[in-house]
């Protein structure tokens, strides 16, 4: 049973994040889903409630754009203001983007995939750490793809090469982060 546990899930409006939310809510946890789109979050929250019978107050939503340091800081400030001293048992860093057809930069001028998949989660974890450290047995879980295992060409073509236009090659070259768990 996860009754009484609070879990924040990035990328909670679809895919692995949404399915994880259903499992956690079905086991009694309170889940806070984050995503860039409030309409998608609203639909996801309704899907979780219907699938699990979870009460409205056990499925929360809040917009969060991990590519933006401002958005991450606003989310963390909001969390502290609204949840105060309530325990945070799990931060599930799941959100991610991949394979843009062209190079994009975040508002903070980082490559978009690096900003979203790595830097945003790093900042979010740092900002949420006080809440996690107050909670015995808390966990940070990082979800990642297997793209880091895709081999580069023998000629060394990678993300820094001007002619590397294939979005999957760019994704593979910049996505070399393995999944892991951090125990505060």
So what's the pLDDT on residue 175? Answer: 47
Alpha-carbon span 78 to 116, nearest angstrom? 20
Per-residue pLDDT reduced to its tens digit, 88-117: 999 999 998 877 677 888 898 888 888 888
55: which 2 tokens? 């009460």
DSSP strand pairing (90-93 vs 139-142) = parallel
Q: Calculate what percentage of the chain has a pLDDT beyond 70.
A: 78
Go through the chain and tell me how many residues it has. Answer: 184
So what's the pLDDT on residue 173? Answer: 52
Alpha-carbon span 82 to 20, nearest angstrom? 23
pLDDT band at 182 (very low <50, low <70, confident <90, very high): very low
Per-residue pLDDT reduced to its tens digit, 109-158: 888 888 888 899 999 999 999 999 999 999 999 997 665 555 554 445 44
Q: Which residues contact 132 (CB under 8 A, 6 or more apart)?
A: 88, 91, 138, 139, 140, 184
Q: Of 4-13, 50-59, 63-72, 139-148, where does mean pLDDT reach its minimum?
A: 139-148
Average pLDDT, the chain: 85
Q: Of 35-44, 55-64, 93-102, 167-176, where does mean pLDDT reach its minimum?
A: 167-176
So what's the pLDDT on residue 154? Answer: 45
Alpha-carbon span 86 to 101, nearest angstrom? 42
* Domain spans, the chain: 6-182
- State the DSSP string of 117-158: IIIHHHHHHHHHHHHHHTSTT-EEEE---SGGGSPPPTT---
Could you tell me which CATH number the domain at 6-182 has?
3.40.50.720
So what's the pLDDT on residue 167? Answer: 54
Per-residue pLDDT reduced to its tens digit, 36-52: 999 999 999 999 999 99
């Amino acid at each position: 049973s996860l009754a009484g546990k609070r879990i924040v899930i990035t990328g909670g409006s679809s895919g692995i994040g949404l399915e994880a939310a259903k499992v956690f809510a079905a086991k009694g946890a309170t889940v806070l889903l984050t995503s860039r789109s409030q309409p998608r979050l609203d639909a996801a929250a309704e899907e979780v409630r219907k699938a699990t019978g979870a009460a409205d107050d056990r499925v929360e939503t809040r917009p969060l754009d991990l590519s933006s340091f401002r958005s991450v800081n606003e989310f963390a400030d909001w969390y502290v203001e609204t949840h105060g001293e309530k325990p945070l048992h799990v931060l599930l860093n799941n959100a991610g983007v991949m394979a843009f057809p062209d190079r994009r930069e975040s508002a903070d001028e980082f490559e978009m995939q690096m900003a979203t998949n790595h830097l945003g989660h790093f900042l979010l974890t740092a900002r949420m750490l006080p809440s996690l450290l107050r909670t015995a047995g808390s966990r940070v879980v990082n979800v990642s793809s297997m793209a880091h295992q895709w081999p580069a060409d023998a000629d060394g073509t990678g993300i820094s090469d001007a002619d590397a236009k294939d979005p999957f090659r760019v994704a593979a070259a910049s996505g070399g982060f393995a999944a892991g768990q951090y125990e505060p």
